[in-house]
Amino acid sequence: MRSWIPVAVMVTAFAVLAPGASAAPSSFQLVFVGHNVAANYPSYGAAEHVGTFTTNSPLCPSGSGHDIANTPQDVGTRLFTCDGSGATFTATISLHLGELVGSASWQIISGTGPLANLRGEGTLTSVLTAGNLSDIPGNLLALAFRSTWTGTVDLDATPPTVAVAKDTVAKLKRPARTYKLRLALALGDNGGGPVSYTLNLIDPKTLEALVRKSGSTSASSVGWTLALKPSASTRALRLEVDASDDVGNKATLKKTIELKN
């Protein structure tokens, strides 16, 4: 992403962006004043969080929100509807119970109308405004809370790009069954910002990760020279790369790297 700009500038940029184009990322705050009701979907703890919210962005200054799903891993999904425009955005909360007990992470995963390309991520902190922690888990409907979300948002739904720029393998004479791999990844973000990545190079015979790398870069490529010693019967390695930008858009790369005899 490009450098951060004030929210007022973000609104001006939004007015002229084509679908899928990116404004510069902006710091974001949302305050959700909520309470619990009985969930009308399968839910961890059988409670749904509903309430009203305000934000620091003129794109959606205020509105209402309610949970629409929860997983057995306690990842909640909430639909937010903006006052006036009727535009919506959807965010996940992990862990959902964290909104009651103090902290959690959030990610905006979709939107509609003028917020169709809105994406973002961050953390939240929360305080109870009714009930107390001893009401968990037996008396969840007695609880009310106020959660403050902080993080970064952008009108950018485009995932980063990730590709293998180089993967040359040479078998070494010594030590036995040892290879030298020159590996380079090409990484890019449509706004020119940093891309975070994790890399695993796996021996499929043993499922051992021979190499693990992670980092964040604004450069167009990163590279390594690696010494590898796979199992004797291994003829190829499996490369797996996960990449993400600074508002949570993700991309995945998988490739087989053949070993030379």
Report the distance separating Cα 91 and Cα 104, nearest Å.
12
User: Which range marks the domain in which residue 44 is found?
Assistant: 7-155
CA–CA distance, 37 with 42 (Å, rounded to integer): 13
Residue range 215-249, pLDDT digits in tens:
999 999 999 999 999 999 999 999 999 999 999 99
Domain total of the chain: 2
Residue 58 maps to which CATH number? 2.40.350
Which of the listed residues 125, 140, 155 is the one where a domain comes to its end? 155
Same domain, 13 and 109: yes
As a whole number of angstroms, the distance between CA 150 and CA 24 comes to: 17
Q: Average pLDDT of 7-14? A: 33
Contact yes or no for 57/83 (Cβ under 8 A): no
Share of the chain above pLDDT 70, in %: 90
Give residue 220's Cα distance to chain centre: 21
Q: What is the mean pLDDT of residues 179-200?
A: 96
Share in percent of the chain as helix, strand, coil (round to 5):
10, 55, 35
Q: What is the pLDDT of residues 40-90, one digit of tens each?
A: 887 766 799 999 999 999 999 999 999 999 999 999 999 999 999 999 999
Average pLDDT estimate for 198-223: 97
Q: Is the CA virtual torsion 250, 120, 25, 23 positive or negative?
A: positive
Indicate whether 169 and 147 sit together in one domain: no
14 pLDDT band, cuts 50/70/90, is very low
Mean pLDDT for the stretch of residues 179-196: 95
What is d(CA 204, CA 238) in angstroms, rounded to the nearest whole number?
Answer: 7
For residues 65 and 184, membership in a common domain is answered with no
